[in-house]
Amino acid sequence: MRRIISILMENEPGALSRVVGLFSQRGYNIETLTVAPTEDETLSRLTMTTTGDEKKIEQITKHLNKLIEVVKLVDLTEGAHIEREIMLMKVKATGAQRAEVKRTVDIFRGQIVDVTATVYTVQLTGTTDKLEAFIAAIGETQVLEVVRSGVSGISRGEKVLSL
Amino acid sequence: MLSGAEMVVRALQDEGVEYIFGYPGGAVLHIYDALFQQDTVNHILVRHEQAATHAADGYARSTGKPGVVLVTSGPGATNAITGIATAFMDSIPMVVLSGQVRSDWIGDDAFQETDMVGLSRPIVKHSFMVRDPRQIPDMIKKAFYIASTGRPGPVLVDIPKDHTAPHNTFPYEYPKKVKMRSYAPVTRGHSGQIRKAVDELLKAKRPVIYAGGGVIQGEASEALTALARKLNFPVTNTLMGLGAYPGTDEQFLGMLGMHGTYEANMAMHNADVILAAGARLDDRVTNNTKKFCPGAKIVHIDIDPASISKNVAAHIPIVGPVGQVLDEMLAMLDEQGSVGTDTKSLERWWQEIAGWREVHGLRFETNEQGPMKPQQVVQALYKATKGDAYITSDVGQHQMFAAQYYLYDRPRRWINSGGLGTMGFGLPAAMGVQFAHPDAVVACVTGEGSIQMNIQELSTCLQYGLPIKIININNQALGMVRQWQDMQYGGRHSQSYMESLPDFVKLAESYGHVGMMVEKIEDLDSAMEEAFALKDRLVFMDIYVDPTEHVYPMHIADGSMRDMWLSKTERT
Ligand SMILES: Cc1ncc(C[n+]2csc(CCOP(=O)(O)OP(=O)(O)O)c2C)c(N)n1
Ligand SMILES: [Mg+2]
């Protein structure tokens, strides 16, 4: 089961290493991890995706909650939510490929944000599935470099994760 | 106006700290200087930082108050690691102050620099790094608060040297209260869950109360005892829980688990309801969790939600302080007037248990001509101390014998490293206990392997006149390792025997103590009496026992609770 866990934690040195350390120490895996300060500068928001069965996820959330710096935590996948990842990609774009790449970018509603005679730099936002579909559509042989932000997420509707 | 160093010491005073256990070095010299200039906080100088942590730990286990440690940066801090891990595994409240190189040198591989916050991260409940001297009072306050509330544990405060410098002074105020938005330990169990649990207990036909170290940590022994007596349920304690329920009581089945009694393990296996109180169903108790107590509904009380359903799923989980939860259970029973257990079934259950007791799982063979048995040593110790001593132990066979054959009637009397199993724990822990209880009888049950891991503390004992009795059960072997090699490795004793043992009597004498050697069973009782009569001396009793003895019962690996070896040849 893939889960998106969203955490509000004290914006203090060492807090992130405790979260990451917990995962390696207890043999949990982190697939993606994003972290940045929030509008309240004393707090940072951390989003991670992980996989595991029900029991493992329960242990993960319990242990995260035990960390002193973790203020609040929500498993976004338990309810309706929105998830996004941003990807920047350099694609070979020469000859006939140029038009083809452009068309695929348009279909996926991406943007070409930088251009050279042989390379397009593409920006694409979406769910993890969408980004993977895009990579597949472009074709691995065309791809020169990929950088992904990791998943960010927020719940739908009126529910908010705040103090 | 106080310097950082003075603030450290003042905060300890304001926290009511009597003793700190430590060892000086460059990074903490300012703090040592501040300590020198006062006399409310007593500093105990150990001979190795590991011993400082174990001594603080023994102090904490025997009093319930946090133990305090002070070590220097680098090697001082790394030497403390084993003791911090030991305290962490057994949820012992401890505050460790470690020196650090000056803040502008951090990260430069300065002399005696170690990333102590990083190194200790997986073995502390929390840690702080002082970034400004003004943070010191608040951080120390929080450290004590976090260490001693909720599920207790060690907390580290790492203090760069420049932040303790004498020429930088600041106004000092010790916070009266701790406010932390991200830390709020539970203070009450859920009443609905407690009600459900009580209903389940009342329906039980074959109940067992399985109580762990949490009952001792949570000061819940009285409530536990009252509940067990009211319900007339059998009780078993874990290695960490010994003393939580009186060891000499009729309803007590003895310890359970890997080296638990036959009756305790059989009762668990056949139970229909298990009340697990302040216990964490760890692997030394459960054997194979897939085969664990197949017919039992499990009511699990623990202050740490992560302990619940970690190893074995709980049917009725209750997150809360075990004392408060048990008190509420008692109140519910009181409210309904008659208790209302299934007394007929309970009677039958007790009869079944009586049958298991007759198997006498705790038995051993003596041999008039042959060497003395280690079990006899613990029995003699029990007799000589009238069951009323503080017993610390090291790790190995002697530890299990001390758990099985000494009956602990009160909490905080049995002090051992259960979770980490740290050889070298016993003697320094006994020092901490003796400081906390200067008039009490304190004995350290150890082995010739373990004692050599912190033997240097004999020097500390001399300095402070600690009249500890060291009961060295000398089987000339790393007995527990040897036992496993006998049972699982065809008797190939790879590196498990001790050649060239020191003359422990002379060794004790050279440290200024009394040494005694006992080789014959006829001399054992009188030697014990003689040793314990020396009320103000440390006595090192080197007692030679049968090197081939094994600890039984012993769970058969990967089996259920009821699968046990009862001797070298008999199994269930
Ligand atoms: C620091 C440490 N190292 C290794 C072990 C593994 N170990 C467990 S029991 C034991 C033997 C202990 O020997 P001794 O103290 O003589 O006790 P005995 O079993 O002989 O009673 C060993 C090596 C341990 N528990 N702790
Ligand atoms: Mg030995």
Judge if B75 and B205 occupy the same domain.
no
CA atoms within 13 A on the CB side of B366: 11
| Predicted local distance difference test score (pLDDT) of residue B108 | 94
A160 in any annotated domain: no
> Pocket of ligand 1, candidates B481, B496, B501, B554: which has the most ligand atoms within 8 Å of its Cβ, to mutate?
B481
Q: Note whether A12 and A115 are within 8 A (CB).
A: no
Judge if B218 and B347 occupy the same domain.
yes
Judge if A27 and A74 occupy the same domain.
yes
DSSP assignment of B102-158:
-GGGTTS--TT---HHHHHGGGSSEEEE-SSGGGHHHHHHHHHHHHHSSS--EEEEE
- Of B122, B125, B180, nearest to A25 by CB-CB distance is B122
Cβ distance A68 to B121 less than 8 Å, yes or no, reads: no
**Chain B residue closest to A26 (CA)?**
B122
Report the mean per-residue pLDDT for chain A: 95
Judge if B70 and B162 occupy the same domain.
yes
How much of chain A is helix, strand and coil, in % rounded to 5? 35, 40, 30
How much of chain B is helix, strand and coil, in % rounded to 5? 40, 15, 40
Cβ distance B306 to A9 less than 8 Å, yes or no, reads: no
* Average pLDDT per 10 consecutive residues for chain A, totaling 163 residues: 95 94 93 95 96 93 96 96 97 92 96 97 97 94 95 95 89
| Predicted local distance difference test score (pLDDT) of residue B473 | 98
A114 in any annotated domain: yes
Domain final residue, candidates B312, B333, B360? B360
Cβ distance B182 to A17 less than 8 Å, yes or no, reads: no
ipTM associated with this complex: 0.92
Minimum distance, in Å, between the CA of residue A46 and any CA atom of chain B: 15
Across the A:B interface, residue pairs with CB atoms under 8 Å apart total: 35
Domain final residue, candidates A24, A46, A79? A79
Judge if A93 and A69 occupy the same domain.
no
The total of structural domains in chain A comes to 2
| Predicted local distance difference test score (pLDDT) of residue B499 | 85
Nearest CA owner, ligand 1 atom 20: B479
Judge if A93 and A74 occupy the same domain.
no
| Predicted local distance difference test score (pLDDT) of residue B370 | 87
Q: Note whether B564 and B256 are within 8 A (CB).
A: no
Judge if A21 and A87 occupy the same domain.
no
The total of structural domains in chain B comes to 3
Q: Residue A122 is part of which domain span?
A: 82-152
pTM: 0.96
Pocket-forming residues, ligand 1, beta carbon under 6 Å: B 394-398, 421-424, 447-450, 473, 475, 477-481
Q: Residue B23 is part of which domain span?
A: 2-170
Chain A residue numbers with beta carbons less than 8 Å from the beta carbon of B129 are 13-14
| Predicted local distance difference test score (pLDDT) of residue B382 | 98
| Predicted local distance difference test score (pLDDT) of residue B550 | 97
Cα B212 to Cα A85, B95, B217, B218, B446: the distances in Å are 47, 23, 9, 10, 23
Which residue numbers in chain B have pLDDT < 70? Answer: none
Judge if A22 and A61 occupy the same domain.
yes
| Predicted local distance difference test score (pLDDT) of residue B338 | 77
| Predicted local distance difference test score (pLDDT) of residue B369 | 86
| Predicted local distance difference test score (pLDDT) of residue A141 | 87
Chain B positions touching chain A (beta carbons under 8 Å):
117-118, 121-122, 125-127, 129, 131, 146, 180-183, 304-306, 309-310
- Ligand 2 centroid–CA B79 distance in Å is 24
